[in-house]
A and B are shown apart, each in its own frame.
Chain A
Amino acid sequence: GENVEQHPSTLSVQEGDSAVIKCTYSDSASNYFPWYKQELGKRPQLIIDIRSNVGEKKDQRIAVTLNKTAKHFSLHITETQPEDSAVYFCAASKSGGYQKVTFGIGTKLQVIP
């Protein structure tokens, strides 16, 4: 089955700096890579995703890159703000309807004001 590794497990940045979280996956057939943000005591929320037909996707201060050859993908948050503090999970699955999604262990991001 799929295995998703995520690092770092914790990350502290100063407000305004950038944060990068990296993930690798094992199953070369995986082609859908979502990122979830989970604030303390709340549900995970989808913040951005990327499919294998593109190498990069951006949404305001958040961007995700994908390298299918190396089987790794990354989340980039620019101009971090205190409200970005949360746990971020990367995940991988195959597309095509109701496939199992495998999650990474999560990265606890702390943005220091």
Chain B
Amino acid sequence: SAVISQKPSRDICQRGTSLTIQCQVDSQVTMMFWYRQQPGQSLTLIATANQGSEATYESGFVIDKFPISRPNLTFSTLTVSNMSPEDSSIYLCSVETAGGTSYNEQFFGPGTRLTVL
């Protein structure tokens, strides 16, 4: 499995500001995923980030609100823009291992707990 770290682990932000969350993996991975988990809820996929191309966003999520960068095979960032209290959530990155029977096994970072006041 991959070792995944995220920064920051938590933050409290003011309405209207933006926060960039970083995700670092200890090995090269093709795909990285960004999820949102609202309190007591399931995991909702925001977008899939492939190195060297535009991220693919799920229905209900747009690039202007959640711009994503993927500059190399071990790193990605998610920005939550023009935040409102409804953006308060845990944001998790994940990676999918590949090779043999390991396709589709997703491993998650520790998450970033965001509170918007």
Instruction: State the A residues within 8 Å of B (CB).
Output: 32, 34, 42-46, 49, 51, 89, 93, 95-101, 103-106
Contact = CB atoms under 8 A, between A and B. Distances in A.
Contacts of A105: 41-42
B35 to A, nearest CB: 9
Given A44-B108, A96-B103, A103 B43 contact: yes
Contacts of A46: 105-107
A106 B105 contact: no
A34 B104 CA distance: 9
Interface of B: 30-31, 41-45, 48, 92, 96, 98, 101, 103-111
Nearest to A106: B42
Contacts of B43: 44, 89, 103
Given A42-B110, A43-B108, 10 more contacts: A34-B104, A43-B92, A43-B109, A46-B106, A95-B103, A98-B31, A98-B96, A98-B103, A99-B104, A103-B43
Contact of B30 (A49, A95, A98): A98
23 contacts: A32-B103, A34-B105, A42-B110, A43-B92, A43-B108, A43-B109, A43-B110, A43-B111, A44-B43, A44-B108, A46-B106, A89-B43, A95-B103, A97-B98, A97-B103, A98-B31, A98-B98, A100-B45, A101-B45, A103-B42, A104-B42, A105-B42, A106-B42
Contact of A101 (B41, B101, B104, B110): B104
A105 B38 CA distance: 11
